[in-house]
Structure 1
Amino acid sequence: MAQQQSQFSRRNMLKFGAGALGSGAIAVGLGAKSQAKEPAVAKPAAQPAAAKPKVDKKDLTPDQALKLLMDGNKRFVTRKLEKPRQDWARIQEVAKGQNPFAAVLSCADSRIPSEIVFDQGFGDLFVCRVAGNVATPEEIGSLEFGAAVLGTKVIMVIGHERCGAVEATMKGAQVPGQIGSLIDAIKPALSRSNKFTGDPLAKSVKANVSLQVSKLKASTVLADLIASGQLKVVGAYYDLDAGTITLV
């Protein structure tokens, strides 16, 4: 009997709380008409907006995955960040395994953090960063793993405005150590720069992106996934001043 009373009391409290919230909302909306002769009739509390359905990344098409990236960059540029999947619960979730929906090959430049410019969270992107965003055997192997094993649906190669590695290549700079290997990987792109728009450096950066995309598409692992409609490989250009990503 005591238990039934307790449950009854809790129900009454919940009903009272809902009614009080509903009355409060009405009072604010109507300007709180305190001179009314009859008490306002409490309306049911408004239902919270339905949560966005959770997208199962495994079911994305390559075009849908690309759209998620571009939509995220639009939020970044317009300062309407959602900062999704960045809480502690998400950290615990992806600790058990990862299922990134997209992969990025970008320059190691510190001003292009992929998760931020695409407004993504833990476990969403499989990212390779190297100066000049060059597709070395190690980078290609990593992206093959991302696509064939982890299931990424799109690979985006991102070059950026005022890239120092591309500029050094254009100037024929003499560099120490292994830095020269980066220049050697970029140099073949310079001959195709006139196919693109912008100032000479921007055109060369875009040409380099195109070259690295072609290297990725030449991978037998990635080529098979592209042919079967499971993967898309695209190039992009990042504007340091505006924060925008533009497909090349």
Structure 2
Amino acid sequence: MTPDEALALLIEGNNAFLRDELRVPDLSAARRLSLAAGQAPFCAYVTCSDSRVPPELLFGRGLGELFIIRNAGNTVDTVAMGSIEYAVAELGVPLVVVLGHEACGAVKAAMSVVEKNARFPGAIDNMIEPIIPAVLEARLQPGDPLENAVKQNVRRVVEVLRKESDPIMLRPQQEKRLKVIGAYYHLDSGRVDFFDRV
């Protein structure tokens, strides 16, 4: 499958979701048995842990189709990067999508740090620290400050995956076997906007 074919599957699935067409994926014993022998997802998907952002439902996908990496704020640390690289190098996914979403709590928290010098308990401060540069960069953009910061956070992660990662990621992109794109999910409508494509 090419990167463009993989993206077309996601777009078509999200369009069905927007039409309220509930897709029932194959959850049969035969499907589970075939996946027990190995997986071949067509997309590595980096998104927020937010419970309102369920990747399989947004795109009408089933077992074994999406390799999902989730954390609050859809950032990429060493563990997430290793997971993405595994999906590309070992599973051969042709597409990596980084998806931010409307009203992201992690980005709101990072904005509070920048605007109010807020502090958060436990490991939350450390978790949102990688988002702060995106918040700073988005401050001068016109429009909704939170949406701008969420999209800038996605752009920063996408940029790292496109240009600053290991040859495991860079070589397949140079050979046109892999695309990394950024997207934004609108909670109210259910629409996914693939706004950062190559």
TM-score under structure 2 length normalisation: 0.91
Amino acid at match of 2:30: A
Are 1:104 and 1:155, in contact at CA under 8 Å, matched by a contact in 2? yes
> What's the CA shift for 1:198?
4.1
TM-score under structure 1 length normalisation: 0.73
Partner of 1:181 in structure 2? 126
Are 1:196 and 1:207, in contact at CA under 8 Å, matched by a contact in 2? no
Higher relative contact order (CA 8 A, sep 6+): 2
Q: Equivalents in 2 of 1:168, 1:116: separation in Å?
A: 27
Q: Equivalents in 1 of 2:45, 2:101: separation in Å?
A: 13
Alignment of 1:232-243 (within 5 A): 232-243=179-190
Partner of 2:150 in structure 1? 205
Residue among 60, 67, 72 paired with 1:131: 72
Partner of 2:136 in structure 1? 191
Partner of 1:222 in structure 2? 169
> What's the CA shift for 1:132?
0.3
Gaps of 5+ in 1: 1-59
Amino acid at match of 2:180: V
Deviation sequence 1:109-137 (CA, Å, 0-9, x none)? 01111111110000000000000000111
> What's the CA shift for 1:179?
1.2
- Cα 1:196–1:232 shift into 2, 3 Å: farther
Q: Equivalents in 2 of 1:158, 1:112: separation in Å?
A: 9
SS at match of 2:182: strand
Q: Equivalents in 2 of 1:141, 1:190: separation in Å?
A: 25
Partner of 1:103 in structure 2? 44
- Cα 1:72–1:98 shift into 2, 3 Å: same
State the superposition RMSD in angstroms. 1.5
SS at match of 1:133: coil
Gaps of 5+ in 2: none
> What's the CA shift for 1:89?
2.1
Residue among 186, 194, 198 paired with 1:247: 194
SS at match of 1:131: coil
Are 1:98 and 1:150, in contact at CA under 8 Å, matched by a contact in 2? yes
- Cα 1:197–1:90 shift into 2, 3 Å: farther
- Cα 1:197–1:129 shift into 2, 3 Å: farther
Deviates more, 1:187-196 or 1:235-244: 187-196
Alignment of 1:111-122 (within 5 A): 111-122=52-63
Are 1:85 and 1:121, in contact at CA under 8 Å, matched by a contact in 2? yes
- Cα 1:80–1:195 shift into 2, 3 Å: farther
Identity %: 42
SS at match of 1:212: helix
Amino acid at match of 2:7: L
Larger Rg: 1
